[in-house]
Structure 1
Amino acid sequence: MSESLQHWQPAQAPDNRSLEGRFIRLEKLDPIRHGDELWLALQGPDSDPKLWDYLPYGPFHERTTFDAWLKNHAASLDPHFYSVIDKSNGQAQGLLSLMSIVPDHGRIEIGHVTFGAPMQRSPKSTEAVYLLAKEAFALGYRRLEWKCNNDNARSKRTAVRLGYTFEGVFRQHMVVKGKNRDTTWYSIISTQWPPIAAGFEKWLALDNQPESGQIRTLEECRDSTV
């Protein structure tokens, strides 16, 4: 039986407001302000060599090409790109976006996740996704999606850790960099979000994230809210 949506109102489009967290701030991507730091984080000598493996672009060996890529991202409304700013030092250390934005049906996706090495396996990366997910549901979206190459084990583990539900695999879905991509789909729907959000808040809290590192895992914090 179909869910009644008698009082459904279309969601709002993302805007250019910054989103504040404990560890990071999400700012609308600005190539002029963020370009130098993003180049260092994403292409510098200490960058993740596997960062671009499953992305449809990169790596970038020339700064001019990288700057053009950033400029295109910044001009886009869908995807709507954010830079991730480390609040401890004010540096831009990664990118991600809200994309596949369909306000009339309340559907949106977090994608183009491109985190520099200083963000990976840290509270900063988790908080960045949490802030965008929180914003998506606050804007009235009913469904938040996460999609990745089915060969991308790291992204699939991340989706499950973040609380997404596996929905299936679209076989021969895309051709990316001359290779077949089977796409794995995950989602969080609005009725699932409150306990997932509470789990994020517990995990990010000061008593769970002292300087020495996490005490309880995100999964443990989420389970304790159910």
Structure 2
Amino acid sequence: MIERRNEFGQAIGPEVAGWTARPRPPRAAMGGRACRLEPFEPRHAPGLFQAYREDREGRNWTYLGYRPSETEDEFQRFAEATYSGEDPLFHVVVDAATGRELGVASYLRIDPANGVIEVGHINFSPLMQGSVQSTEAMYLMMRRVFDELGYRRYEWKCDALNAPSRRAAGRLGFSYEGTFRQAMIYKGRNRDTAWFSILDSEWPRLRAAFEAWLSPENFDLNGRQIQRLEDLRSQGR
């Protein structure tokens, strides 16, 4: 990158020519081969409650800012209060074959003026953890951000102690940027927050790797992957 300087000799960033504020994410479904993402509606809550009941020990909720519900009525009230806003904008992951609700993820801290948006509040039930649906859901959300809306930066943040989330960010192609110490208090305990990001300039290579990984040809007759997403990315596909 060529260094630019102003009239005072101070280093300044490159010009972002022709930039205009980006649209906010629409309340519209995103469709894939294995799953689709639907903006949350109250009708999704019973299916989500049943999916989350597969998490017998409540592990999914350790690093979330809220706790599991004991009854379906309680979860219905929680979901309608938590999942119905515009920021965070929650989407429900629905199995394309069965129509069953599998989990949620959201866009949040939406900053159209600067083209920055975060993915978070991810709560994938055991029915989809480690599945094709979990990867495809993340790909579909990235594709909307970069290809449809033209954002410049996509963020992932998590409790620095959340090892599964950190591994997931790395597998999906996010770059670790650092840790904000004592960034938050939740559930009465400290949270140091690890920051990750993907930039628009990085997206074409990541998109190609996702599409190669998600291709039916990348899975054997038993549904096992043939090439890992990380390997496809390192090959520059």
The whole-number CA distance in structure 2 between the counterparts of 1:87 and 1:47 is 25
Greater Rg over alpha carbons, structure: 2
Work out the percentage of aligned pairs sharing the same amino acid. Answer: 40
Contact 1:111 1:147 (8 Å CA) reproduced: yes
In the TM superposition, what are the counterparts of 1:1-226 in structure 2 within 5 Å? 1=4, 2-32=13-43, 34-42=44-52, 44-45=53-54, 47=56, 49-137=58-146, 138-212=148-222, 213-225=224-236
Partner AA of 1:5 in structure 2: V
**Change beyond 3 A, Cα 1:211–1:18:** farther
How far has the Cα of 1:58 moved from its partner?
Answer: 1.3
The whole-number CA distance in structure 1 between the counterparts of 2:73 and 2:84 is 17
Provide, for residues 191-212 of structure 1, a one-character-per-residue CA deviation record: whole Å limited to 9, x for no partner: 0111011100000001002442
Partner AA of 1:121 in structure 2: G
How far has the Cα of 1:140 moved from its partner?
Answer: 1.4
The whole-number CA distance in structure 2 between the counterparts of 1:21 and 1:142 is 23
How far has the Cα of 1:127 moved from its partner?
Answer: 0.7
Provide, for residues 96-121 of structure 1, a one-character-per-residue CA deviation record: whole Å limited to 9, x for no partner: 00111000000001100010101001
Q: TM-score, normalised by structure 1?
A: 0.95
The whole-number CA distance in structure 2 between the counterparts of 1:87 and 1:210 is 20
Aligned residues: 224
Q: TM-score, normalised by structure 2?
A: 0.91
Contact 2:107 2:117 (8 Å CA) reproduced: yes
Partner AA of 2:70 in structure 1: H
Partner AA of 1:15 in structure 2: P
What are the ranges of 5 or more consecutive residues in structure 2 without an aligned counterpart? 5-12
What's the Cα RMSD here? 1.3
The whole-number CA distance in structure 2 between the counterparts of 1:198 and 1:179 is 40
Please state whether the residue corresponding to 1:75 is helix, strand or coil: coil
The whole-number CA distance in structure 2 between the counterparts of 1:141 and 1:6 is 14
How far has the Cα of 1:88 moved from its partner?
Answer: 1.4
The whole-number CA distance in structure 2 between the counterparts of 1:65 and 1:152 is 27
Contact 1:47 1:116 (8 Å CA) reproduced: no
